[in-house]
Amino acid sequence: MEVQPTSLNGVLLIQPRVFSDDRGWFMENWRREHYEAMGIPEPFVQTNSSHSSQGVIRGLHYQWPEPQGKLVWVSQGEVFDVAVDIRHDSPQFGQWVGVVLDAQAHQQLWIPPGFAHGFQVLSPTATFHYQCTAPYRREHDRAIDCGDSDIGVQWPLAIDGLSEKDQQAPTLGEISDSQLPSCASC
């Protein structure tokens, strides 16, 4: 397994080992001892999947006051995946990193608690998976405007296919510090 740090402290791009032969391939999606050795000690308590069409953006989402860490990957198609540091006291506050995840490369992205997350589907369709360190709580569900110019995410395709929640999401600057995580809380 190879691990690459990204430009945001704590966000990791992970390349699991894939074993291929003439029958196909096999890989471990997650093994606690290996991920703990990478500094991902959190237990996963919920796994989610979504299937979306080309151009759809899901995000930028976070949960507060019960933040979630997410290990994400794609099993079909290709997405542009984004993490944004939203810890109000972080030196990297408001900065983002984006990577392409696809079913052929089998890469994963670790997004620690304290980061917003979103993705845009680049292929005709994509199936996306999330392992989360905290359960989803509707009352803690939050979103940030994916087109927030102060964050400046460079989405590969036009912003399209947003849910009603995402269409009405505030910019990061419109959210008070009390509604955002801190470095100490994550």
Whether 130 is catalytic: yes
Cα atoms in the 13 Å half-sphere on the side-chain side of 98: 19
Residue showing tokens 């990478």: 38
Sheet holding 78-85, edge to edge: 96-102, 78-85, 115-121, 57-63, 141-143
Whether 61 is catalytic: yes
| Residues pairing with 11 in the sheet | none
Grouping H, G, I as helix, E, B as strand and the rest as coil, residue 33 is helix
Rounded-to-integer distance, Cα 10 and Cα 17, Å? 21
Catalytic position from the list 35, 88, 117, 130: 130
Rounded-to-integer distance, Cα 82 and Cα 96, Å? 7
Rounded-to-integer distance, Cα 100 and Cα 92, Å? 21
Rounded-to-integer distance, Cα 186 and Cα 183, Å? 6
Q: Cβ–Cβ contacts within 10 Å for residue 5, how many?
A: 11
Catalytic position from the list 61, 88, 106, 117: 61
**Catalytic residue numbers, as ranges:** 61, 130
